[in-house]
Chains A and B, each alone.
Chain A
Amino acid sequence: MSAILSVDDLNDFISPGVACIKPIETLPTAPPPPQNGAADPLEHEVVLDGAPTSSAPGAAAPAQISLTDCLACSGCVTSAEAVLVSLQSHNEVLSVLDGAPALQLQGPNPSGTYTVSGLENPASKFFVASVSPQTRASLAAACGHGVTSEQAGRMIEHLFMSEAGLAGGGKHNNGFTWMVDTNTAREACLVLGSDEVLSGSTAKPATPVLTSSCPGWVCYAEKAHPYVLPHLSRVKSPQALMGTLLKTTLSRLLGIPPDRIWHLAIMPCFDKKLEASREELTDSIWAGDGNPGRGVRDVDCVITSKEILMLAASRGIDFFSLSKSALPQRQPAFPDPALHRFLFPSSKTHKQQRAAGTSGGNLHYILQDVRARHPGSQIQTVRGRNADVVDYAVVASSGETVFKAARYYGFRNIQNLVRKLKPAKASRMPGGKSFGSAKRPAGKAASLEYAYVEVMACPGGCTNGGGQIKVDDQVIIDRKGLPDKPGPVEQKSWLAEVDEAYFSADEPDTAVDSDADPGDNPDNVDGIYPSRVRGALEHWSSLTGISLDKLVYTSYREVISDVGKSQVTDTERVVQLAGKIGGGW
C-alpha cells in the first residue's frame, strides 16, 4: 500500500520499501528525445550513493520530493517520513493559525449575501474544518466514563471554535468558523455509490465495482495492481466530497478565491493526508481545465484523531476537561439555507447500523438499496476465511439471487481479491500452460460473481485506522490503568469500546432495529432519503455553476515505476555486477 505514514507498527499494514518512483514522475510534459543516444537524464535524478554521475546534464533540476510525489510510492530513499508527515500535522495547523488574522464572516447583508473581512492581508485565511465520526468515537473512548461520540464532537467544537480552545490563544486568537460532520457528505457518497452500481449506464466502472474511499487501498492499487483501476468506484470519498463542497460553495458565496479558504479535515488515518494531496482533488478539476494538476487543494490539511490531543497539548489545553455541552453560540448560518440544512441537519443523523461497519457503510447501503428495490428479499451473509472477508447475497422471495457482493478488509485478504481480478497473462512458452494466477484465459474472472466489493485497508474498519488513538498510547494506559504493555486482549477490548462509541453516537438509546423494514420504500434506504440527497446535490451544482460530474466524481491513474522491472537501469546493472564479482547478499 502507500507509505503508511504511521508512527506505529501495525500488523496488517504494508510497510514502506526502499525504491523511489520519483525519477519516473519527473518526466517533463514534452520529453525531448535523448540526443546522440545520450543516457536518459532522468535516470540520474535520484542518486542513491551520493556521487553525482558524470553524464548528468546541468539541465537536470535537483529532485524535489513532495508529499504529492510520495502519494503512491511504497517508500522513499530518504525515509524521511517524519519530514513528509510534518507538512500536514498539528504543528502545521498551529503555524497556519498563527500566520495572520483570520478572515471573518460578515453578514447577512440586506441583500442576504455574505462577505468576509480582512482580505487586505494576503496571508489571511478563512478557516473551516470537517470531522469524521471515527475521530469522535476514538476521542469518546479515550474520555471513557460513558462519554458519547456526540459529546466528544462537542468537545472538539469547543477546541476549534471557542475561546476555551484554540481561539483563546495563539498569535491572533484564530479559531474555525465552521465545523462540519463528514457524515453528511458520507450519506451523499452512499447514494451516489449505489446509483453508480445499480444504474444500467455504460459509464459505470467494470464489474465488480470496488469501493474507492480508502486511500491506502487506492494508492496501493495504483502502484501495484493497476489492472483493478477500471473497477474502482469513481465517487469521491466523504473527505474529498466535503472538501469540494466547502471550497466550491464558499468561494462562490463569499466571493473569495478558493486558496483563501483553509480546510482542515480530522480523520482516523494517515493515508487521508496522502489523499488530500492528490492532484485529482484540487480546483484544477472544477475551476481549471478539468485535468488533475497542482491547483488549490480541496482539503488543505488532514490531522488524525491522535493529533487532536497533541494539538490541544501544544497550546496547553487539556482536551479532556473541555466542556461536553453545546457551544454557547451555535455555528453561524451557512450562507446558503439549503446547504445549511444539508450540512447541519436538525434531526439527528440516523443511527448507524452495526452491520454497516465503521468504514462508511458503502456496501451495507447498497444492499439495503437493492433490497428496497426488490420487495420481500433477504440479505444472506457468509463469513469467509476470517472476520474481514464476508460474502453477501440478496435473495428474492422466489429464492433467486439478485445481487452478490462482498467485503474484503486488510492487506492479506486484498491479495486474494486482486489475484482473482488479475487478467490471464499470455503463455510464455508456445503450447505450454499459461502462467500467472489465472490458469485459463478469462476463466478466473468469471468465478468472481460479485457486483460490488467493499475494500478497506484496515482490518476491523476505520475505527482501527492508523491515526486513531491506540490502546498502547500512554494517555490510554494512564487513563485506563492498563499494564505497561497492553497485549491483544486489551487491544480487542479497546477496539470494542471505540466501536461502541461509534455506533451509539446519540445519548438516548433510540433502539433502531436493523431488521425493521422502513417499509420497502425505495425512498428511505436505511434511514437515508436518496431523493433529498440528490436534490441537495443538484442544488450544489446549480449554485456553483459546475457540472455535477466534476464535483462528485474523481479519477485514478496508474503509477508507472520501472523499479524491479526487466528494463535494466544503470542501478540494476551495478547491482548485477556487484553480485557477480563476489558480493551478493
Chain B
Amino acid sequence: MTTTTTPPPIITPLPAFQPDLYQRAWASIPHPTLPLLATPHATSVTIFSLATLSKHSTLTGGHERSVRTVAWQPGARANQPRLVTGSFDATAGLWSYDGSKEKGALEKEVKFSGKDGGEGEEEEEEDWEFNLVLEGHENEVKSVAFSPSGQYLATSSRDKSVWIWEDMGGSDDDGGEWETVTVLNEHEGDVKAVAWCPDVAGRASLKGRYSADVLASASYDNTVRIWREDSDGEWVCVSVLEGHEATVWGIQWEPKPREGKFPRLLTHSADKTVRLWTLRQEEEDEVEEPSRNPWGAIPNTMRRELKEEWVCTDVFPQVHSRDVYSAAWSADSGMVASAGSDGIIALYAEDATQQEDAQMGQGANGAVPPTSRWKVLGTVSDGHGPYEINHITWCKRFDPGTERKGEEEMLVTTGDDGVVRPWQVRIP
C-alpha cells in the first residue's frame, strides 16, 4: 500500500525477449555500455540485443553444469565485449566476443542457426570464444563480479569461500593470465552473492587506511561481510552485517550515494525483507585523530581495530510473501525494484518529504537525513505467472518503443519459465 500522494507508476509488461529459452533462466545482466543483455540458463548463456529484444549470440560448451551467474568485464573494447561465467561445475570461465571477426571463419561445432534473428551486430552464434578456466573452488560457484576497474574478479561458492583473482595481463589471445590474490574463508555457509562497490565519490577509505576497492558478500549464514585490502595488501573482513533472519540472497551498493556519504548497501533475503545498511562514519573520524583526544593518545591495546560498523538503517515495507531473490537499485531514478519466489515485482522510492538540508530538492537523490523512509510505489503480481522470478534489473532502453534511447530505464525480470521480460516503468 502506498502512501504517496501521486498515483502509482505504471509498470507495464513489454513483449518478452525472443526466443523463449524454455529452460530456467537465472539472471539478466545488462552490459555497462553496449545494448546487450546476458542471460545464463542451463549450461549456456544467451546474449540478447536490447535494440531488437531478440537473441544476439550464445555462449555454449564451456561448462558441464548449470551456469548461474555472469558478469561483463569492464574496460573491454567496445566491439569485443568480454564476460565471466560462474558455474555449478566449480569453475569460472572467461569468454570474449570478436565482433569484427568474419562470419564462419574456422569454426568448431556446427550449430543449427534456426531462427536467431539477431540484427545489427553479428548473427553468427559461434563468435564467443571460451578463453580461460579459473579453477579452485571446491564446489558450485554462485556468483562472479568484477571490481569497477576490472583489475579484480571475485567469485563465491557453496564452499563458503570468496576468492579474489587478479588480472595479470597477458595477451588477449590467451584470455590473459589470472592469479589468486586471496581466499576468504570467514562465511559459515554458502556464499550466494558478491558485489564490488562502484567507483563513486565517497568510496575512498578514510585516511588511506585501506585501498579503494570494497567487496561485499552475502551468505546462507544470514550475514553480509564487507572486505577491504589493508596496507599490507591483505584482504580482511572489516564488518559483519547481522540482522537478516535467513539466507541473504543478494546485495547491491548504492549506485549514486549522497554527497560526502559512503555508499549504502541494499540487501534482500529469504526472510522476505529488503534492507538498507549504512556505514557509521562519524566514529571513525574520532579514532583517526588521537591528537584531538583530550585524554592523550589512545593506548595501543585499546585502539579500535581496523573495523567498520554498519547499521541497518531501513527495512523496506513488507511486500513479499516468500524469498526475495533479487533487488535492483537504479542510479538514475534512485528507485529500488525487488522480485522473488512469490512472483511479485515491487517498486520502492525513498521518501524525500523529510529533508533537513534543502540542497537539492529532487527525488531520492537529494540529501536525506537517516530518518528517510522508503515507500512502495507499486507492485505487480504473478510477473511470470506461477513461476518464481530469479532476477530483476534496471536496464536502459534501446528498442523502438522508447523516444530516449539509452536514457529511459526499464526493468527486466528473469524467471523459472525461461522468459526474460522487459517492463516499462513510467511514473505519471
Binding site for B on A (CB under 8 A): 9-15, 17-19, 74, 385-387, 411-413, 415-416, 419, 428-433, 435-437, 439-440, 481-483, 485, 487-490, 564, 566, 579, 582, 584
Contact = CB atoms under 8 A, between A and B. Distances in A.
Given A385-B233, A431-B108, 11 more contacts: A9-B186, A14-B183, A15-B160, A15-B161, A17-B138, A412-B180, A432-B129, A432-B130, A435-B133, A439-B174, A487-B305
B181 interface: yes
A564 B90 contact: yes
Majority SS of interface residues in chain A?
loop
Given A415-B136, A490-B301, A432 B184 contact: no
B149 interface: no
A469 to B, nearest CB: 19
Given A15-B160, A439-B174, A416 B180 contact: yes
B174 A14 contact: no
B386 to A, nearest CB: 10
B180 A415 contact: yes
Contact of A435 (B24, B130, B183, B186): B130
B407 interface: no
Chain B CB within 10 Å, residue with most, of A74, A419, A428, A431: A419
Interface of B: 24, 61-62, 64, 66, 89-90, 106, 108-109, 129-136, 138-139, 159-161, 163, 173-175, 179-186, 230, 232-234, 236, 300-303, 305-307, 416
A481 B163 CA distance: 36
B131 to A, nearest CB: 7
A566 B132 CA distance: 20
A10 B183 CA distance: 11
Nearest to A425: B133
Contacts of B303: 489
Nearest to A481: B301
Nearest to A432: B108
Given A435-B130, A437-B133, A564-B90, A412 B306 contact: no
Nearest to A75: B138
Nearest to B159: A17
A429 B106 CA distance: 11
Nearest to A428: B61
B131 A433 contact: yes
Contact of A430 (B108, B161, B179, B186): B108
Contacts of B307: 487
B136 A17 contact: no
Nearest to A440: B174
Contacts of A435: 62, 130, 132-133
Contact of B236 (A17, A411, A439, A488): A488
B109 A429 contact: yes
29 contacts: A9-B185, A9-B186, A10-B185, A15-B160, A15-B161, A17-B138, A17-B139, A385-B179, A386-B233, A387-B232, A412-B182, A415-B180, A415-B183, A419-B180, A429-B109, A430-B108, A432-B129, A432-B130, A433-B129, A435-B132, A437-B132, A437-B133, A439-B174, A440-B174, A485-B305, A487-B305, A488-B306, A489-B305, A582-B416
Contact of B186 (A11, A18, A487, A566): A11
Given A15-B161, A17-B138, A483-B301, A386 B234 contact: yes
A563 to B, nearest CB: 9
Contacts of A413: 180
A415 B89 CA distance: 18
B181 A74 contact: no
Q: Give the one of B134, B139, B160, B184 with max A CB within 10 A.
A: B139
B185 A566 contact: no
A490 B300 CA distance: 9
B24 A584 contact: yes
Contacts of A419: 135, 179-180
A205 B185 CA distance: 33
A13 B185 contact: yes
Nearest to B306: A488
> Which 6 pairs between the two chains have the least Cβ-Cβ distance?
A487-B305, A439-B174, A415-B180, A429-B108, A412-B183, A412-B180
A488 B182 CA distance: 17
Contacts of A490: 301
A385 B236 CA distance: 16
Contacts of B132: 435, 437, 439
Contact of A433 (B64, B90, B174, B233): B174
Given A11-B184, A11-B186, A386-B233, A564 B305 contact: no
Nearest to B175: A439
